[in-house]
Amino acid sequence: MKLTVWLREPSLMRRTAGALLIAFVLVLLVLLLHDYLETRQSYVQDLAIRNRAELQAPEFAALSDAADAARLMTSLARINERWRSRTGQSPGPVIHQLRDTSGAVRAAYPADASDAFAAGPEPVTQQTVHGVSHWVVIKPAGPWQLVIAEPVEPLAPLLWRLTDDILDKLVLALPLVMLPVGIALWTGLSPLRRLARALAARVPQDLSPLGVQPPHRELRPLAEAFEALLAQLRRKREGERRFVQEAAHELRTPLAAVTTQAHVLARSDAPEARARAEAAMVQMLQRASHLSQQLLDLAVLDEETGPAPSQRVDLVPLLEQALASANDTAAARGLELSLDAPESLQASLPLAAWQSVLHNLLDNALRYVPAGGRIEVGLQAATGGLELRVADDGPGLPQEWRERAFDRFWRAPGQQVSGSGLGLAIVRQAAARLGGQVRIETGLGGRGIAFVLALPKTA
């Protein structure tokens, strides 16, 4: 069972060994094809029987007696057959014939080899006699013609013989290649094993750098990616620690005020004092509730990963509903609310994130624009996407403070309006969730401030 599981699990060692075996098979096939083509070519250009015929021809040219020439041919043929038998040459005897100038066979080996071979345009020709293919050389030798015909080795035996010759060398080379490759792979992966051991030995709270730097260039990106991940986790943990501290500080103020006013309600008999204490308590509870909701919204946005589910909606009615909900607050403070948008604008986007951006930008404007001011909400299709703009003619924000406006719990120095400093942080997180960006520009009439959410075309 364990062996089956081991074989099924991916392994770099087995993968490398398999790749080497496949490489050796490919080398075998290439060498086999090369040797086969070379052997076929040698039969035509450099066949042994052709060389033998050229060497023997002068001997026969010096003999005029047919009996002497026949004995010489028979002796040479027998010597050749014994040599072929010892060296394992192709099957079947090599036919030798001695013919006179008229073409009549005067002697043959084997004795019954009276087959008629015709002269061809090439020194070596391939001819089939009685169903057997032969390489044939016909060489003039004075008063004689020397004919040597060697059977063509069949394809299957030829390939097997060539494979056997090559395979012996490859089998010898295979372990000599696999051994250093295996050692190199094993030693090369040792830094990866050290990295794994260093990670396994960590406690969950330990986010310090690993300090493992593999010497191999191919493994360095992995170690660097782990170090970068640990650095991100350290920054995230530090940010969460500051977030908890700042959230506790922000909640402590309204809760302390509620406690104080509760003591006043419990101990005071004066109706005016009790009314002021009750109003202050309600205000502080509303502030604490608002802060708690913003903390919850920010935590949800921080935890969400992966693509957010989108839905196709008309954004204009959503804007109209949001402005209608804010109208009472605006009227109570003498603020003018207006909407600049087309009759309809369809988009596919995460609805919760869109509403979070819209709600917090409107809430921010309603809090900080002085009485009698103007707030304008604009929506338009832009090049490559769409833009939501919430602009006002309030006090605005100096250029040097605009980048910090999106930091959590940051509030402009000297600001008297109550707030948590989380609204714009939520806007930035929600904008990222929407796949867009939010930027700060100058507001209405060259004054105030404008927050512009730019969404890509896919939205």
Structure tokens at 106: 């005067």
Q: Give the pLDDT of residue 409.
A: 66
Q: Give the pLDDT of residue 166.
A: 80
Q: Give the pLDDT of residue 132.
A: 77
Chosen CATH of 47-153 out of 1.25.10, 3.30.450, 1.20.120, 2.30.30:
3.30.450
Average pLDDT over the chain, rounded to an integer: 77
106 and 99 in contact (C-beta within 8 Å)?
Answer: yes
Q: Once rounded to an integer, what is the mean pLDDT over residues 181-186?
A: 77
Task: Examine the pLDDT at 292 and tell me if it is beyond 70.
Answer: no
Task: Examine the pLDDT at 307 and tell me if it is beyond 60.
Answer: no
Q: Which of 212-226, 234-248, 368-382 has the highest mean pLDDT?
A: 368-382
Q: Once rounded to an integer, what is the mean pLDDT over residues 410-432?
A: 69
Task: Examine the pLDDT at 89 and tell me if it is beyond 70.
Answer: no
50 and 133 in contact (C-beta within 8 Å)?
Answer: no
357 and 432 in contact (C-beta within 8 Å)?
Answer: no
Task: Summarize the chain as % helix, strand, coil (round to 5).
Answer: 55, 15, 25
Could you write out the DSSP letters of every residue in 76-129? Answer: HHHHHHHHHHHHT--SSPPEEEEEETT--EEEEESTT--------SSSEEEEEE
Structure tokens at 227: 């170090």
Q: In a 3-state reduction of DSSP, which class is residue 431?
A: helix
Q: Buried b / exposed e across 328-351, counting CB within 10 Å, b at 16+?
A: eebeeeebebeeebeeebebebbb
Task: Examine the pLDDT at 316 and tell me if it is beyond 80.
Answer: yes
Q: Which residues 6+ apart lie within 8 Å of 284 measured at CB?
A: 254, 255, 257, 258, 261
237 or 363: which leads in pLDDT: 363
409 or 64: which leads in pLDDT: 64
344 or 413: which leads in pLDDT: 344
Q: Buried b / exposed e across 152-183, counting CB within 10 Å, b at 16+?
A: bbeeeebbeebbeebeeeeeeeeeeeeeeeee
Distance CA 146, CA 335 (A): 122
Q: Give the pLDDT of residue 306.
A: 53
Task: Give the tens place of pLDDT for each residue, 40-69.
Answer: 666 555 566 777 788 888 888 888 888 888
Q: Give the pLDDT of residue 394.
A: 83
Q: Which ranges constitute the DSSP H helices of 213-314? A: 220-267, 271-303
Q: Give the pLDDT of residue 138.
A: 86
224 or 158: which leads in pLDDT: 224
Q: Once rounded to an integer, what is the mean pLDDT over residues 192-205?
A: 78
Ranges of each domain in the chain: 11-41+159-188, 47-153, 220-301, 308-456
Share of the chain above pLDDT 90, in %: 0
Q: Give the pLDDT of residue 1.
A: 47
Task: Give the tens place of pLDDT for each residue, 225-276.
Answer: 878 888 888 877 776 666 665 566 556 666 776 777 777 777 777 777 777 7
Range 228-237, long-range pairs (CB < 8 A, 24+ positions): 233/207, 234/207, 237/207
Q: Give the pLDDT of residue 431.
A: 82
Task: Examine the pLDDT at 105 and tell me if it is beyond 80.
Answer: yes
Residue 134 β-bridge partners: 127, 151
Q: Give the pLDDT of residue 260.
A: 75
Q: Give the pLDDT of residue 322.
A: 87
Distance CA 151, CA 95 (A): 8
Round to the nearest angstrom and report the end-to-end CA distance of the chain: 52
Q: In a 3-state reduction of DSSP, which class is residue 134?
A: strand
Q: Once rounded to an integer, what is the mean pLDDT over residues 105-111?
A: 85
Q: Give the pLDDT of residue 254.
A: 67
375 and 365 in contact (C-beta within 8 Å)?
Answer: yes
Q: Once rounded to an integer, what is the mean pLDDT over residues 27-49?
A: 72
Indicate the fold that domain 220-301 takes in CATH.
Helix Hairpins (1.10.287)
Count of residues in the chain: 459
- Please state which architecture CATH assigns to domain 308-456: 2-Layer Sandwich (3.30)
Half-sphere exposure of 52 (CA within 13 A, CB side): 17
Q: In a 3-state reduction of DSSP, which class is residue 240?
A: helix
Q: In a 3-state reduction of DSSP, which class is residue 323?
A: helix
Amino acid at 338: S
Pairing of strands 132-141, 124-129: antiparallel
Pairing of strands 374-382, 336-340: parallel
Q: Once rounded to an integer, what is the mean pLDDT over residues 70-98?
A: 79
274 or 414: which leads in pLDDT: 274
